[in-house]
Amino acid sequence: MMADTIYTPLLYGGFLSIVALALAEKLVPVIPSYALLVFLGMTHASDTKGFISTVAASALGSMLGTLVWYGVGRLAGRNLIEVWIDKGGRYVFLPLARYRALAELYERHTFWITLTAQTIPTVRIFLAMPAGMLGLNLRLFIPASMLGIVIWNTSLIGIGAMVGNSRYDPLYSGLLVVAAILCFEAAIWHSMRYRRRRPA
């Protein structure tokens, strides 16, 4: 109920409201990004100017949220994440040895992993914190994050704009789009769990 009270006035606001929504989605992901961005596309991107403004505002908010998570990770430091992984990594199929291998891979391929991660639901929210803990180069992290964010936001806002401008019921069509994305995300998650559990 508290989330509804906070989000509802912002959903129908202007540029700064969209920035605030995108920032909130990164920090407190009560509403999935794909649902939020599709809705913003339906309500704010009916023409070219609105589309560009919505993409720009949402990208700015998302980038600010990403930098907040990076800063939290930077303050926490590399040692803390290793303690967390050592104690609880087995519950998420991430033993310490695998984490260290992944961290080394991330350090070698910061730009491309960061860019790709920004187009993957859930991962796009939290990857910035381990990036901060690892102290990854901001000159690579920031442009990669922004590019990935723009790709993700533009795609979903574009879908929302098409739904909003179509002759079909916007609410029903929007719900179908969000449901399809949710099913796709669930399928990927279950596939990853199956592969991790399957014996070599």
pLDDT of residue 186: 60
What distance in Å separates the CA atoms of residue 135 and residue 71, rounded to the nearest whole number? 10
The residue-averaged pLDDT of 101-130 equals: 90
Query: What pTM, to 2 d.p., does this model score?
Result: 0.78
CB 146 within 8 A of CB 63: yes
What distance in Å separates the CA atoms of residue 146 and residue 144, rounded to the nearest whole number? 6
pLDDT of residue 2: 43
Return the closest-CA partner of residue 178 out of 9, 6, 35, 71. 35
In tens, the pLDDT along 125-142 reads 888 998 999 999 999 999
In tens, the pLDDT along 21-80 reads 999 989 987 777 878 888 888 888 778 898 999 999 999 999 999 999 999 999 988 888
What distance in Å separates the CA atoms of residue 125 and residue 130, rounded to the nearest whole number? 11
More confident residue, 18 or 42: 18
Report the SS3 class of residue 31. Answer: coil
pLDDT of residue 1: 43
| pLDDT over 90 at 143, yes or no | yes
Q: Confidence class of residue 180 from pLDDT cuts 50, 70 and 90?
A: low
The fraction of the chain above a pLDDT of 90, given in percent, is 34
**How far is CA 46 from its chain centroid?**
24
pLDDT of residue 196: 53
pLDDT of residue 179: 61
Task: Provide the terminal-to-terminal Cα distance of the chain, rounded to the nearest Å.
Answer: 46
Q: 156: domain range?
A: 2-197
| pLDDT over 70 at 183, yes or no | no
Specify the number of domains making up the chain. 1
Q: Confidence class of residue 124 from pLDDT cuts 50, 70 and 90?
A: confident
What distance in Å separates the CA atoms of residue 149 and residue 126, rounded to the nearest whole number? 13
pLDDT of residue 176: 60
| pLDDT over 60 at 200, yes or no | no
Q: Confidence class of residue 5 from pLDDT cuts 50, 70 and 90?
A: very low
Report the SS3 class of residue 86. Answer: helix
166: which residues sit within 8 A by CB, 6+ positions away? Answer: 173
pLDDT of residue 33: 81
What distance in Å separates the CA atoms of residue 9 and residue 122, rounded to the nearest whole number? 25
Return contacts of 107-110, CB within 8 angstroms, 24+ apart.
107/134, 107/136, 110/136, 110/137, 110/140, 110/141, 110/144
What distance in Å separates the CA atoms of residue 128 and residue 141, rounded to the nearest whole number? 9
pLDDT of residue 31: 77
Taking every pair of Cα atoms in the chain, the longest distance, rounded to a whole number of angstroms, is 55
